[in-house]
Chains A and B, each alone.
Chain A
Amino acid sequence: MRMLTGFMRASPRPEDEFRDLIARRGARLQAACLRITRDPALAEDAVQEALLRAWRARDQFRAEAERDTWLHRIAINAALELVRRRGPMAEIDADTPEPDLPGGDDPARAHLRAAFGADTGAAMAKLTEMERVCFVLKHIEQWTLDEIAAHLGRSINSIKQALFRGVGKLRGELAHWQEDSR
């Protein structure tokens, strides 16, 4: 019985697990949603929605890693839903300030990193919403073309074309980093 009570004491409360989850994954979830929405408030809403859904389904997960992956996926879905609600041709504020980025020990590298972050943000802002969302889902989130097409209700060919245009634009906009960063 002592072993049993010891085990029960060792198991963290779900609330504590979620507090830890927010501390551990919050930035990554916010970043993922921000790449989709380009709107910090919408990204925050998407993360909150995903966390609440994960909380409600907390008993269904067999492993922490499985819950984290699922949480990431539903956060992306929530962000996509919010973007959809905003409307397909909604104006996006290209001047949205880039979020504060964690620096590092080396000021020169931190400066370079911030500069690259700013340039990347500006380049991403020049993509259409379709190009940006497809690029983020494919390259960053590693969805398959089939999944993206199904989720966005488009043909695979139109997803491919959006990706080709998006990557072409990004490479053009960030070409100077090919030399500068080496």
Chain B
Amino acid sequence: MISDDDLLLFHWQDGLDEARRREIAEALARDAGLGARYARLVADLARFGTLPEPAVDAVRQARWWRAIRDEASAKPAASRWFVPFALAAGVGAVAIFGALWRTSEIEISGPPPTAVVDRGDEDRVARSVRVHLAEAGADLSQWGEQPDATRRRLVLRWIEDQRALARAAEAAGDAQLARTLRAFEPLLRDLAEGAPEAALAEREQLAFEWSAMQTKLAASPSKPSPSGI
């Protein structure tokens, strides 16, 4: 007997052991009634996941901003007088290193150095991507209710976020996750520029792909790429 509670944990991919997960997956594949029950649960959860956001008024934003400004003026951050010097030193170091590298190019052999990757970095990036996808998915579900300017702003924000996440994934050694994130960009650009009727298909594709990506990221750690993508 598979209860709604089991289905709930199955949906979240958390709190069930591997054997029970497999058992539920097999039952879902062969039992249409159970499949329908699961689909209803997932649809309900999707609705609960798109709880509306409040509009933050200007007064509240100003209060937050004032708190930061006060903090900044009370305790000026470590003086940044050294920044131009540090940058200049950095540029100089790169130039010197570049010159040395060129002169010793012929002697360099063997495999390229492997980046040392902190496992925690990978987890942080994967978590960031999951949160981004969840937020973007929630925004996407309310697409039809947004004015054009808001939609365009949303898409630009998604592109910007995904670029930043792709850079973070690369830095954490997950090139595949970085590639996957970058692969969304043409679709997002189409969505920003496309006609409303074309946008429906693109939105559906995007929602499906984001959802699939979230599922993969949430899956067990036995994965080909560090993030599981």
Contact = CB atoms under 8 A, between A and B. Distances in A.
Interface string A164-182: 1001101100100110010
B51 A56 contact: no
B131 A178 contact: no
A65 B132 contact: yes
A113 B142 contact: yes
B128 A65 contact: yes
A158 to B, nearest CB: 12
A22 B71 contact: no
Contacts of B168: 62-63, 65-66
Nearest to A30: B56
Contact of A55 (B71, B124, B128, B171): B71
Nearest to B80: A14
Given A34-B54, A52-B68, A65-B161, A120 B144 contact: no
Interface string B106-136: 0000000000000000001101101110110
B5 A164 contact: yes
Interface string A141-182: 110110000000000100010011001101100100110010
- Of the four ranges (under 10, 10 to 19, 20 to 34, 35 or more), the interface on chain B belongs to 35 or more
Contacts of B51: 31, 35, 117, 120, 140
Contacts of A84: none
A65 B64 contact: no
Interface in B38-70: 40-41, 43-45, 47-49, 51-56, 60-61, 63-65, 67-69
A178 to B, nearest CB: 7
B15 A55 contact: no
A164 B8 contact: yes
B56 A64 contact: no
A12 interface: no
A129 interface: no
A141 B71 CA distance: 29
Nearest to B15: A145
B65 A22 contact: yes
Main DSSP-derived SS at the B contact region: helix
B45 A139 contact: yes
Interface string A75-93: 0000000000000000000
Interface residues of A, number: 68
B69 A15 contact: yes
B98 to A, nearest CB: 15
Interface stretch (B83-91, B204-212, B221-229): B83-91
B132 A26 contact: no
A17 B72 CA distance: 13
13 contacts: A4-B84, A8-B84, A14-B72, A35-B51, A51-B64, A52-B67, A64-B164, A120-B51, A138-B14, A140-B51, A160-B5, A160-B9, A167-B8
Q: What 9 A-B pairs are tightest by C-beta distance, nearest first?
A: A99-B54, A104-B145, A65-B164, A31-B53, A69-B128, A27-B56, A117-B52, A26-B56, A63-B168
Interface of A: 4, 7-8, 14-15, 18-19, 22-24, 26-28, 30-31, 34-35, 44, 47-48, 51-52, 55-56, 58-59, 62-66, 68-69, 72, 99-106, 109-110, 113, 116-117, 120, 135, 138-142, 144-145, 156, 160, 163-164, 167-168, 170-171, 174, 177-178, 181
